[in-house]
Structures are given as structure tokens and as C-alpha cells.
Amino acid sequence: MEKRSLPESRKIIAYRMSRAWRTLSEEKHLLGEEGSTHSVVSRLYFAVFYAISALLLIDGLGSKKHAAKRGVLVDRLVSSGRISKTDGKTYHELVAVREAADHEDMVWFSTEQVTEWLVPAEQLIKEVETLLKSLGHLEN
């Protein structure tokens, strides 16, 4: 577990949420480029990764956890009610498609498929941001 002061944690949480929103913006730009759906899938995953990392930081959990361990932590966030089952499903789905995009042969994604993942990813980031604000860990 990472031990940080409250002001330091808030600063890092704000940075990670900013990074989540910037990454989401980047992927929207990439989506218009020919043949960049794999890049967009990767950016979608990292956008939600940054948001989840910000949320886990309030419990002193860092962002350098192995993907499998992070999945368990996301499941705990769902079971505790901090994020919705839909958000947990979105996270796990984006992990799976990113893994496929990065490590499997002959995997293609249509613009339509990628666009369908954009809305739930953005919703997850919004919900994490709202929760962090309500808990006093992120300024309005």
C-alpha cells in the first residue's frame, strides 16, 4: 500500500482524473483516423485505468498492480457499491479487448465496435469523478 498525505493523494487523484479525460479526448480524435481502431481500444482502456487508479488511491492502493490483481480490486469496488456493476463490466471488457488488440493475431475492430465502447467508458469516468468529488477527494 502506498502511504501518502491527504494533500498529496488529492493532487495525484486530480492528475489521474485529468489524464483519464485527456486520454478519452485523444481517442475521440484517433477514432476519425483511418486504421487506428487498435490505438483507440488501447486509449479507451487507459482512460478507464487512470480513473480506476484515482479511485483506488483513496484506499492507499497504487496504480502499479498486475492486471489480474487490479481486476480483483475493481470487483471489490463493485461489491462495496463504489462503482456500478455496469462500470465493473465495462472495465473488464476493455481489459479483454485491449489484451486482444495488443497480443492476439488477426484481431480487427470496426469503428462501430469501438464507438460502442466509448459511451460506457465515458460513463465510468464520470461516475468515478462524481464519487471522488462527493467523498471530498476531488475539487468541483
C-alpha 2/C-alpha 33 separation (Å) is 39
pLDDT at residue number 1: 46
pLDDT digits (tens, 9 = 90+) for 116-140: 999 999 999 999 999 999 999 998 7
For the segment 18-30, what is each residue's pLDDT rounded down to a tens digit? Answer: 999 999 998 877 8
Domain positions in the chain are: 6-134
What length is written for the chain? 140
User: What class does CATH assign to 6-134?
Assistant: mainly alpha
Q: Do residues 114 and 40 lie in contact, with contact meaning Cβ atoms separated by under 8 Å?
A: yes
